[in-house]
C-alpha cells in the first residue's frame, strides 16, 4: 500500500488495502473455526486435569473472537501508520483500549462473577472499538489525497537529505 502511494497509484493502494483485509478475514475465520472445533482437544494437549480442560475449553470462544479481531486490527493500524497517521493511531489505541477497554475488563473481571472471561471481554471491547474506528478512518480515506501527501513527504525528505549532504561537504 505504501509503495503504491509513493508510486502515485491511489486506486491500486485502495485495492491493496481491500485485498489484504479480505485475505486476513478469510484466514482468521479458518483459524476461528479450527479453534472452536478442536477446543477440547487443544485443551487436552496441554493438561490432563479435567477441571482445567473444562475451564480452558470454555474460554476458547473468546480466543476465536480475539483471533478474528487481532487479524484485522493490526492490518488497519498498519494502513493508517503507512499513510502517515501515526499520531491518530496512537490516540485511537490509547482511548479505545486503555481508556475504554481496560476499565471495562477490570469491572467485568473483578466486580462480577466473570473473572478471567470478564477481563478478556474488556480487552475484546477495546479491540472492537479500535477496529471499528480504524475501519471508519480507512473507508473515509481519500486515496488521491494520500498519494499527493506521500509525494510531498518524499520530496521534503529528499530536500532535507540533500541539504544535510551539502552541509557535510
For residue 156, being part of any structural domain is answered with no
| Predicted pLDDT at 2 | 63
pTM for this prediction: 0.81
| Predicted pLDDT at 144 | 83
| CA distance linking residue 166 with residue 169, whole number of Å | 5
Give me the percent of the chain exceeding a pLDDT of 90.
Answer: 60
For residue 157, being part of any structural domain is answered with no
How wide is the angle at C-alpha 113 spanned by C-alphas 110 and 114, nearest 5°?
A: 80
Whether residue 42 is predicted with pLDDT greater than 70 in this model: the reply is yes
For residue 159, being part of any structural domain is answered with no
User: Which residue segment(s) compose the domain that 30 sits in?
Assistant: 2-148
For residue 154, being part of any structural domain is answered with no
- Please name which of 79, 56, 57, 68 lies closest in space to residue 139, comparing C-alpha atoms: 79
Alpha-carbon torsion 64, 70, 71, 72, what sign? Answer: positive
The structural domain count of the chain equals: 1
For residue 77, being part of any structural domain is answered with yes
The 10s digit of each residue's pLDDT in 122-164 is 999 999 999 999 999 999 988 888 778 777 877 887 777 777 7
Amino acid at each position: 500500500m505504501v509503495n503504491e502511494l509513493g508510486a502515485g497509484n491511489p486506486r491500486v493502494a485502495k485495492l491493496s488495502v481491500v485485498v489484504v483485509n479480505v485475505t486476513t478475514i478469510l484466514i482468521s475465520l479458518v483459524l476461528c473455526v479450527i479453534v472452536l472445533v478442536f477446543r477440547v482437544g487443544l485443551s487436552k494437549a496441554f493438561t490432563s486435569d479435567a477441571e482445567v480442560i473444562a475451564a480452558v475449553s470454555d474460554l476458547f470462544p473468546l480466543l476465536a473472537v480475539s483471533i478474528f479481531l487481532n487479524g484485522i486490527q493490526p492490518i488497519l493500524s498498519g494502513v493508517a501508520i503507512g499513510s502517515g497517521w501515526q499520531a491518530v493511531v496512537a490516540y485511537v489505541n490509547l482511548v479505545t483500549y486503555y481508556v475504554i477497554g481496560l476499565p471495562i475488563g477490570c469491572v467485568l473481571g473483578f466486580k462480577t462473577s466473570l473473572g478471567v472471561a470478564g477481563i478478556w471481554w474488556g480487552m475484546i471491547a477495546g479491540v472492537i472499538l479500535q477496529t471499528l474506528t480504524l475501519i471508519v478512518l480507512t473507508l473515509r480515506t481519500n486515496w488521491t489525497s494520500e498519494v499527493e501527501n506521500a509525494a510531498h513527504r518524499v520530496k521534503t525528505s529528499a530536500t532535507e537529505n540533500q541539504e544535510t549532504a551539502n552541509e557535510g561537504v
